[in-house]
Amino acid sequence: MDIRRTGIKSGRALPQGMGAVKEPPPMQASTSQQDQASPRRFLPSGPLRGRIRVAGDKSISHRSVMLGALAVGETRVTGLLEGEDVMATAAAMRAMGAQVDKVGDEWRIHGVGVGGLLQPQTALDMGNSGTSTRLLMGLLASHAITATFTGDASLSKRPMGRVIEPLSRIGAQFTPSPGGRLPLMMTGANVPVPIEYRLPVASAQVKSAVLLAGLNTAGITTVIEPVPTRDHSERMLRGFGAELEVEEVGGERVITVRGEADLRPQTIEVPGDPSSAAFFMVAATIVEGSDLVIENVGLNPTRAGLVEVLRQMGAQIEELHRRDVGGEPVADLRVRHAPLTGIEVDPAVAPSMIDEFPVLFVAAALAQGRTVTRGLEELRVKESDRIAAMAAALTAAGARVEETEDGLIVDGTGGEPLRGTSNARVKTHLDHRIAMAMAVAGLASKDGVEVDDTRPIATSFPAFEPLLDGARA
């Protein structure tokens, strides 16, 4: 195995303080991305074989920590994703009074109760985590405390207006940077007002922010969801004891939560993240001779769109030992190499696989014929503009890609390896999913693909590179 690596790995110092202060904390920018980049060339691979287990689901991990911090008593969590994003959430909850500690393989969270959050002494550094930022803004919106949110260079470019607007209706006040971005200061409402809010775009983060704000708001808070998005918040709020109802009315989901909730601590086993498993599903599909089992993958129907899309393209993905874990469907996935055929992806599946499109574009680049994707405007405002970033990265690696306003059109090689990047690095734009997607592209290339920085991978999947190298060994 030929692996070329330069640069260093760097960790991020996360805030740990807690307590109350009279003056709001100062606004400051995060410096977590100022260290030296760590490029790596991912070279052509032999078959991926054996059994692997991917990191715990990031969405469930975030919510386990947050809801555990709002429950009275001790919540215990196994399988928690220990990437930088979730650790930023844990540090923020510590800063607001909760105890969050790891004991052996288990995380133990001693909550303060709904309404019991304390004002943090220092700014809350969210690193690269948009989920942490938007959901915590929802939590704080109905608590009469002031907090400042900062983030790295990538997160500081992401607009927060989509959560500021509904949370302002509840009574929270915001002082964001120009364009509704971080650094951002907010003060929660003294007397929060329950609202009915119709989501203008399909966003699980906005939905969750409003529902979390409703926990400490007297009365009924309602979210109307024209297009279903991942439902981890609804499942987990119910599990923690919140009075939450979901109805179908006129083809829309109407979600209500009763405020002044009394949450009960839980014991949670976090399933494997389908967004992390996605990279190995595509890698095993496009690398000849592969036969890989990915254990314990969460298959929540609001998250499993990629599995069905890959099957439509011809992928061989078999579900083994399907079961329920903590109210979430889970299975081991056996993935074998198979030739793929391009398809037109139904825009309706986008919310169930929005984070998986970067690696789907890689699969499309190796398929026979044309793959067309539409309705992906949301990808423009992720950690990077993922439509533009993947168009540029795949083109640099030799793929035939056309960028449109709301997606990509990819003409595949019919299974022939991509050219690769012999004398250039693809730009990841500090985006972990761009880095991992192009790592997978390198496995099915002639010259390999060099990404400009592998450090962002640690935000969501610290074990990605060792797992990939082990599966190829």
Which positions are annotated as active-site residues? 355
What are the DSSP E strand ranges found in 299-345?
A: 316-325, 328-336
Phi and psi torsions of 74, nearest 5°: -105, 120
For the chain, give the longest Cα–Cα distance: 64
Instruction: For residue 465, give the nearest of 447, 446, 444, 443 by alpha carbon.
Output: 443
Rg of the chain (C-alpha set): 22
The alpha carbon of residue 117 and the mean position of all alpha carbons in its chain are separated, in whole angstroms, by: 25
The strands making up 181-187's β-sheet, listed across from edge to edge, are: 124-125, 146-150, 181-187, 173-177
Query: Could you tell me if 242 and 251 are in contact, meaning their C-beta atoms sit under 8 angstroms apart?
Result: no
Instruction: Supply the DSSP string of 92-153, one letter for each residue.
Output: HHHHTT-EEEEETTEEEEE---TT-PPPPSS-EE-TT-HHHHHHHHHHHHTSS-EEEEE--T
Residue 104, C-beta contacts closer than 8 angstroms, at least 6 positions apart: none
Distance CA 444, CA 464 (A): 17
Binding residue per annotation — 427? no
Q: Which residues pair with 164 in a beta bridge?
A: none
Distance CA 325, CA 343 (A): 33
Binding residue per annotation — 415? no
Binding residue per annotation — 130? yes
Instruction: For residue 211, give the nearest of 183, 188, 231 by alpha carbon.
Output: 231
Binding residue per annotation — 352? no
Binding residue per annotation — 59? yes
Binding residue per annotation — 157? no
Instruction: For residue 274, give the nearest of 313, 236, 331, 326 by alpha carbon.
Output: 331
Binding residue per annotation — 9? no
Q: Which phi-psi region, left, alpha or beta, contains residue 247 (left: φ > 0; alpha: ψ -120 to 50)?
A: beta
Binding residue per annotation — 411? no
Residue 214, C-beta contacts closer than 8 angstroms, at least 6 positions apart: 142, 194, 220, 221, 257, 258, 259
Instruction: For residue 407, give the nearest of 440, 453, 452, 360 by alpha carbon.
Output: 360
Binding residue per annotation — 22? no
- Tokens 């309602």, located at residue: 222
Query: Could you tell me if 312 and 302 are in contact, meaning their C-beta atoms sit under 8 angstroms apart?
Result: no
CB-based burial label for 1 (10 Å; 0-12, 13-18, 19+): exposed
* Crossing angle (nearest 10°) for helices 274-286 and 305-313: 10
Distance CA 90, CA 74 (A): 15
Q: Which residues are documented as binding site for phosphoenolpyruvate?
A: 58, 130, 158, 205, 386, 433
Q: Which residues are documented as binding site for 3-phosphoshikimate?
A: 58-59, 63, 203, 205, 355, 382
Q: Which residues are documented as binding site?
A: 58-59, 63, 130, 158, 203, 205, 355, 382, 386, 433
